[in-house]
Structure 1
């Protein structure tokens, strides 16, 4: 490229950066120094630097990565009102002085600490010997200090005046800082660690030639169009007109399209309907009866704890449960009823059966279907949205979709189920590898779990399946074998769409939505 063509190819912003770098003959300059020299906005300077790097007129002379620590909004609150671990320990010490005691639940309610935080607080204080749990589940202060609480307070005070380099934090305190730093899936933490990249730039040989050519020509104002005023006064002779390059890529047009996860759900439904399945539908709000009791899940089962199921606040209970299903299911729980089983051997609580919850498993839809005189033989499916109290991470969410299905027939057996599960893994999840592992569920026997290999996350459980027990089918009026499955559609979509984090399925990132495509 000759000198004139080189000058014509430069944007005015690039010219300012080249001129600024040429002033320092043997010294590289940082972005801060270039901003002061050129008086450009940060966005303008960033664009100009990227353009010059692409044209190989400048190079990165050095790059230094430093970590900076700052307080989040949560950290600012902790600075003023103390962190949960400090509040809990102070309350227990005061109670000990007064001869009082608290259970973990009472302490949590008194200090208004979130359940997810409370477990970490108790675990840390107990490990450090600052508290002990005595008979009756009461928590007592031992009088020993908590290094974590003291270090946390010191960090809050150290960072109250603004961001600080991580290297300035004492080594023992860094472990506590990283423990309480914001990370993906847990944003309610007091500290944030950000990486700051400092680069210095210098001219290449070609860049120095371009800077010299610019200096000889001098600064000429660039304009994008010729106006009548310029023609009249002749000022066009002293201006440089912006070149129009037809080889430049046009702006990307982003037409409307369905969300990739919605496309995936529609395809799953189409595939199942094409296989002869009929769709089942059900309510998001269910009674414990249909969500658990009808599935032969005993009322003392740990999965019915408040930490696994969301309870409806108002109204709390349904008015009634349909008969004869209530009587049959309660008899199955107490003594087995007419199922040939001995049952669970406890007194069934019909009031609890009317308790309203958010549906925690798609199998509740299957229970309704079995009670509605389904076709025999018959095949049914449901794309059911479910809710469970869970810690959100790359493979877990508090609400999710399950692909729920049942097949009824006199000739249906466990081998039929395994064949269907293998088909779902291959055709729906688009998984290259799958495997079965033995499992236990109160409502199926035998039971199995389906696992598939995610290309990045490794082996991942999709869900459970099995042959419905007679204690489930007979009280609901079905006397033929029934195979059932409940698979996580969100996880299947992660494999099919090549997504590595379940939260990306519901992200507002338009670029991710526009570029994500399935393998089907």
Structure 2
């Protein structure tokens, strides 16, 4: 009990002047919505401080109010056109021409039509007159409603039956009414707030020291306000880089530190580099519309290196200059020229190998690829791939598995990894790498890898072994941050972007 009283006293001594003013303003019902002498900004700022200290609860309520719009303000000042016309007809019957002279044509046209529909006026032989029983009309329900709003906005939920009728009618008319939301904030004392009111200082403490306070020696007789450095404050959301882009930059840096050189290639490429240069036959099912996208316009690109095209053609048809039979079919240059959004970043590897690279050499690229698929927690139709190749003598399948295992552990934070035999037209042997996702409680495919076949490398001018891999870098980051849904990586959800944490940092 003594500790509680001491804490109450310390908390009371740390309150600012406006906070004390608010706490002293509570009456018997323990709720207030404003304090005389404090602006709305000062009131709400101090209210939030008090709520952080668990002394008050801020209760927010909303209501819709009706105000006058541009034409409504004119009707409040000069009356609605139908009321103006009634006032004119009380004095004398008028022709349409005369009415147009006193009201502008648009207003007179509306007023005549409106009053005629209600049976308030007669129209005979070009003369407009008031019905005898309507000559005593001073205001319509609509004009009364406008006059009320002109004095003060009205709460829509509290409109009388007559006002609600006028509200519905006037809503159909152009720029008469404007509906706006109003937020009301009310403070309610908590139990701690009730207790602390008994301990409030009679005079607020000195907030800031100043030369005048020192000279006047006020500091000798007045206390300084106690500052509680442990009081919770509103969380600040400062700017930061997008977490997934941060990860990609980190990944590039790691690869460069390991001696890899970045390679580049176009997102829109020919089937030649996406498939043919990779020794994938033109009748392979992975080249159909179910697995790749094609460009409608332009449909074809150019193949400028005719010698390279001829070597790739021979490799497909007969196996080329190595001990191979090839795919044994008639290869088509027209198909190879077809343009497409690349379906894998291996097309970049094909371009690199055909451009006389340094040997031995280690190369990588991280790029966007496109494949028709069903969007779900682990699949996208547009995603990123990490492509890597290592060229050199005496490279083996064992070297490849070691690199893949290292990547999965260090980059994605995977604890359980498995390798499965796989098949790709351009690698032999081939392997699939999976990692265990604790969030999804299942194995998730990371990508494929293998040793490039000589039917692929020889036409590109490479005679040494080439180990290669294409990994789903999106899934790497998904695994690393323990995300259930890969779509979150590209989300514009600010809450997720602020709260996501990189498990490796």
Answer yes or no: is 1:358 the counterpart of 2:341: yes
The verdict on how the C-alpha distance between 1:10 and 1:301 changes in structure 2, with shifts beyond 3 A counting, is farther
Name the structure 1 match of 2:435. Answer: 452
Cα distance in 1 for partners of 2:49, 2:239 equals 31
CA offset digits 1:203-236 (Å, max 9, x no partner): 76x566569999xx9xxxxxx99xxxxxxxxxxx
- Correspondence 1:424 to 2:392: no
**Structure 2 CA distance for partners of 1:441 and 1:50, relative to 1, 3 Å:** farther
**Residue 303 of structure 1 corresponds to which residue in structure 2?**
286
SS of the counterpart of 1:476?
Answer: coil
CA distance in 2, matches of 1:343, 1:404: 26
Q: Which residue is equivalent to 1:465?
A: 449
Deviation track 1:300-350 (CA, whole Å, cap 9, x = no partner) reads: 323223343232333221133522222222233334333433333433222
Post-superposition offset of 1:275: 2.5
C-alpha contact 2:237 2:498 (8 A) present in aligned 1: no
Helix, strand or coil: the match of 1:374?
coil
> For residues 283 and 353 of structure 2, what CA distance do their matches in structure 1 show?
24
User: Any idea what SS the aligned residue of 2:347 has?
Assistant: helix
Q: Is the 8 A contact 2:346 2:387 kept in 1?
A: yes
Cross-structure match for 2:497: 512
Equivalent of 2:319 in 317, 322, 336: 336
User: Taking structure 1 as reference, are residues 244 and 208 closer, same or farther at Cα in structure 2, changes over 3 Å only?
Assistant: closer
**Cα distance in 1 for residues equivalent to 2:21 and 2:433:** 61
Q: Does residue 386 in structure 1 map to residue 368 in structure 2?
A: yes
- State the Cα distance separating 1:430 from its structure 2 match: 2.9
CA distance in 1, matches of 2:49, 2:283: 63
From the superposition, tell whether residues 451 and 9 of structure 1 become closer, same or farther in structure 2 (CA, over 3 Å): same
Separation in structure 1 between the aligned mates of residue 56 and residue 236 of structure 2, nearest angstrom: 32
Contiguous gaps of at least 5 residues in structure 1: 26-32, 36-40, 60-200, 218-223, 226-242
TM-score (norm 1): 0.55
Post-superposition offset of 1:351: 1.1
Deviation readout 1:493-520 (Å, 9 max, x if unpaired): 2334454433333334377358634525
**Does 2:220 align with 1:275?**
no
Within the alignment, does 1:475 sit opposite 2:445 as a pair?
A: no
Q: Deviations over 1:37-78 (max 9, x none)?
A: xxxx9xx99x979976x767799xxxxxxxxxxxxxxxxxxx
Q: Secondary structure at the match of 1:478?
A: coil
**SS of equivalent residue, structure 2 residue 327:** coil
Contact 2:369–2:385 under 8 Å retained in 1: no
Sort the Cα spacing of 1:436 and 1:207 in 2 relative to 1 into closer, same or farther, 3 A: same
- Of the structure 1 ranges 393-402 and 441-450, higher mean CA displacement relative to structure 2 is found in 393-402
CA positional deviation for 1:15: 11
Alpha-carbon deviation of 1:490? 1.8
Q: Is the 8 A contact 1:379 1:405 kept in 2?
A: no
Question: In the superposition, relative to structure 1, how do residues 34 and 330 fare at CA in structure 2: closer, same or farther (>3 Å)?
Answer: farther
2:218 is aligned to none
Q: Is the 8 A contact 1:13 1:48 kept in 2?
A: no
Mapped partners of 1:264, 1:343: distance in 2:
41
> What is the CA–CA distance in structure 1 between the aligned matches of 2:445 and 2:243, rounded to whole Å?
22
- The number of aligned residues is 365
Structure 1 residue matching 2:289: 3-state secondary structure: coil
**C-alpha deviation, 1:352, in angstroms:** 1.5
Which structure 2 residue ranges, 5 or more long, are not aligned? 34-39, 58-187, 209-224
Helix, strand or coil for the counterpart of 1:265? helix
RMSD: 5.1
Query: Could you state the TM-score of these two structures normalised by the residue count of structure 2?
Result: 0.56
Structure 2: distance between partners of 1:427 and 1:500: 20
What is the CA distance between 1:413 and its match in structure 2? 1.5
Are residues 4 and 493 of structure 1, via their aligned partners in 2, closer, same or farther at CA, if it must alter by over 3 Å? closer
* Inter-partner Cα distance in structure 1 for 2:17 and 2:326: 83
Cα distance in 2 for partners of 1:446, 1:434 equals 19
Checking the alignment, whether the CA contact within 8 Å between 1:404 and 1:485 is kept in structure 2 is yes
Does the aligned pair in 2 maintain the 1:358–1:386 contact within 8 Å?
no
> How far, CA to CA, are the matches of 1:34 and 1:344 in structure 2?
85
Describe the SS at the equivalent of 2:419: strand
